[in-house]
Amino acid sequence: MGHSHRGKRWLPRYYSPVVPSVRDVVRLHTDLDEDDLAWLQLLLSDWQIIADLSFADLVLWLPDRDGRGFWGGAQMRPTTGPTAFVDDLVGAFVPTGRRQLLDTAFEQRRIAREGDPEWRDNVPVRVETIPVLRGTSLLGVIARNTNLLGIRPPSRLELSYLQTASDLTRMISVGRFPQPFERREWSASPRVGDGFVRTDAVGMVAYASPNAQSAYRRLGLPGDLVGESFATVTTSLVDVPAGPVDEPLGITLAGLAPREAEFGNEEATVAARVIPLQPGAEYDGALVLLRDVTELRMRERELITKDATIREIHHRVKNNLQTVAALLRLQSRRVLEPEARAALDEAVRRVGSIAIVHETLSHTLDEHVDFDEVADRLGQMVGEVGRDAGAATVHTSRSGSFGRLSSDVATPLAMVLTELLQNAIQHAFGADGGRVDVHALRLAGRLEVIVDDDGRGLPAGFDPGTSGHLGLSIVRTLVESELGGLITLGARGTEGETGTRVRVDIPMRES
């Protein structure tokens, strides 16, 4: 390519606000089929490794349906070095003839590179193009663009990276990479920078990056990894797994098949990704990416036990409250004086309503409850207690939804609702019974709860400030002080309708 300044001619002619996916580009502009696309996606899920190992930007160019040129399908920047492109090339079009190296790699199905670096915006860039093959089908070309400004005389680490990168690109050009394999759910997906080991054809460690070496020091290896058999040295350090395994670790780490593994001992846990390398006719060892996941796994274990502990606490609080309620109930049976008895029954109910919240919390993973469930169970409980006490049949129902509430809102709100339901059942109706509806409305930043009954209404001259007994003063304290909200009591609806409406309005911190 004779030009020295390509500059902005590379940019897409349009900028769409959404960067197209490789799927979009394949569908819009190419003749590639679903299997080709799946292969490309598999490649893209791993090409960060190649970008990192070669300190280079990668751009996947896909052949236009009408053979007019190539479309930018995907792009990857290195995390180990400077980028060669500030701009996005996905969606860009390069006509045939514009970039000789792309055409060469595509037409001749071979890796093409040029001797002299290309200059782009005053940055020297070395370009190499790699045909992407799946079986015998040619899917596109990867351009590997190395920003030479950032490259010092290569160290042993860099040489080892570059060698492995070139093995991988050769494998891409003959359809041997990517390697389909079963990803693990727990995969910690190690990256090049996390730890790099290169083994040779007989499984000896040829190079280990400082991070890989540190991980092994942590596992208990006093000496150098280089020169050791990777599988043997690892199995000598780690514990034999307690559970069933699909294959012995020594076989996984021999590096003959693409695998992921996690191993460790008391001191450390390491995640590994094994990529066998066969750039030419012969197997040539493996690339192993390692990541020290000791802290990660430790924190996960702690989190699991913390969640379990919180649930267990709620479970026990609920049990204790139920025990208290049962004791109070026993006591109330022994008391003869009706007023004292009623007071004890009420205490049973109040304790019970808090127990319901804790029971619900003991089933959840976080400190939030689905309050609809709580409200429905409270309605049931209050109705039952009312029936036991000989009240008329009252139907309770709920409309609307409370949504999820944090426990510091749920507990006081459960008590408020209990008192309001109890009042309706106790005071609103005669022998015929009636209906109570709880309506919940979740609005931006607040929750509105309305308790309606179709009973006789509040007594004449009712003054919510002074007429309240213990029940309403509990409710007022909880709503105004605990929940920072407002409560109003009044007649339900317009003329002709009887009944009481209690409206509770509380502010919500949105989660």
Ligand X SMILES: Nc1ncnc2c1ncn2[C@@H]1O[C@H](COP(=O)(O)OP(=O)(O)OP(=O)(O)O)[C@@H](O)[C@H]1O
User: Which residues contact ligand X (rule: CB under 6 A)?
Assistant: 346, 419, 423-424, 426-428, 453, 455, 458-459, 467-472, 500
By beta-carbon proximity to ligand X, the closer residue of 433 and 471 is 471
Q: Which is nearer to Mg ion, 75 or 500 (CB)?
A: 500
Tokens 């274990």 belong to residue: 301
Please give the sequence-ordered ranges of beta strands (E in DSSP) within 245-300, or none if there are none.
259-264, 269-276, 286-292
Which DSSP string corresponds to 178-232? S------TT-----GGG-EEEE-TTSBEEEE-HHHHHHHHHHT--S-STTSBHHH
Q: Which of 63, 386 has the CB closer to Mg ion?
A: 386
Strand runs labelled E in 33-122: 56-63, 69-76, 93-95, 112-113, 118-120
Q: Which is nearer to ligand X, 424 or 487 (CB)?
A: 424
How many residues touch Mg ion (CB under 5 A)? 2
> Are 492 and 499 spatial neighbours (Cβ–Cβ below 8 Å)?
yes
Identity of the residue, 6 or 427, whose beta carbon is nearer to Mg ion in the bound complex: 427
**CA distance readout (Å), 18 to 15, 72, 91, 175:** 8, 14, 10, 31
Binding mask 113-132 for Mg ion (x = CB under 5 A): --------------------
Indicate the residue among 210 and 493 with the shorter CB distance to ligand X: 493
Q: What is the strand order of the sheet 269-276 is part of?
A: 205-208, 196-199, 286-292, 269-276, 259-264
Instruction: Give the helix/strand (H/E) hosting 422.
Output: helix 407-423
Minimal distance in Å, beta carbon 496 to ligand X?
Answer: 17
Of all residues in the shown chain, the one whose CB is closest to Mg ion is 471
* Minimum gap (Å) between residue 449 Cβ and Mg ion: 17
CA 511 – CA 509 distance, rounded (Å): 6
Q: Which residues contact 97 (CB under 8 A, 6 or more apart)?
A: 103
Q: Could you say whether residue 423 binds Mg ion (CB under 5 A)?
A: yes
Minimum distance, C-beta of residue 382 to ligand X, in the bound complex (Å): 12
CB of 321 to ligand X, least distance (A): 19
Contact (Cβ atoms closer than 8 angstroms) between residue 130 and residue 111? yes
Select the binding partner of residue 57 from ligand X, Mg ion, none (C-beta < 5 to 8 A, by kind): none
Cβ proximity to ligand X, 50 vs 413, nearer residue? 413
Per-residue burial over 152-178, b if 16 or more Cβ lie within 10 Å, else e, is: eeeeeebebbbbbbbbbbbbbbebbbb
Question: Which residue lies nearer to ligand X by CB, 189 or 426?
Answer: 426
For residues 311, 317, 319, 324, the Cα torsion angle rounded to the nearest 10 degrees is -170
Residue number closest to ligand X, CB atom: 471
Question: Least distance from C-beta 376 to ligand X, angstroms?
Answer: 19
Give the amino acid at 60: L
Interaction of residue 403 with Mg ion, rule CB under 5 A: no
Task: Pick the piece of the chain touching Mg ion (CB under 5 A) from 286-294, 312-320, 383-391, 465-473.
Answer: 465-473
Give whichever of 243 and 461 is closer to ligand X, judged by the CB atom.
Answer: 461
Of 175, 258, 403, 471, the one binding Mg ion (CB under 5 A) is 471
DSSP H/E element including 441: strand 434-443
Q: Which does 467 bind (CB under 5 to 8 A by kind): ligand X, Mg ion, none?
A: ligand X
- Binding partner selected for residue 427 from ligand X, Mg ion, none, CB under the kind-specific 5 to 8 Å limit: ligand X
CA angle 452/457/460 to nearest 5° reads 145
Owner of token pair 């409710």: 475
Considering CB distances under 5 to 8 angstroms, the limit depending on partner class, which of ligand X, Mg ion, none binds residue 458? ligand X
CB of 473 to Mg ion, least distance (A): 10
Nearer to Mg ion, 400 or 468 (CB): 468
Binding region for Mg ion (CB under 5 A) out of 74-82, 207-215, 453-461, 469-477 = 469-477
Q: Is 418 in the site for Mg ion (CB under 5 A)?
A: no
Q: Is the peptide bond before 412 cis (omega within 30 degrees of 0)?
A: no
- DSSP secondary-structure letter at 238? S
Stretch that binds Mg ion, among 40-48, 71-79, 90-98, 466-474 (CB under 5 A): 466-474
Minimal distance, residue 468 CB to ligand X, in Å: 4
**DSSP-assigned letter for residue 20:** P
Residues at the site binding Mg ion, with contacts judged by CB under 5 A: 423, 471
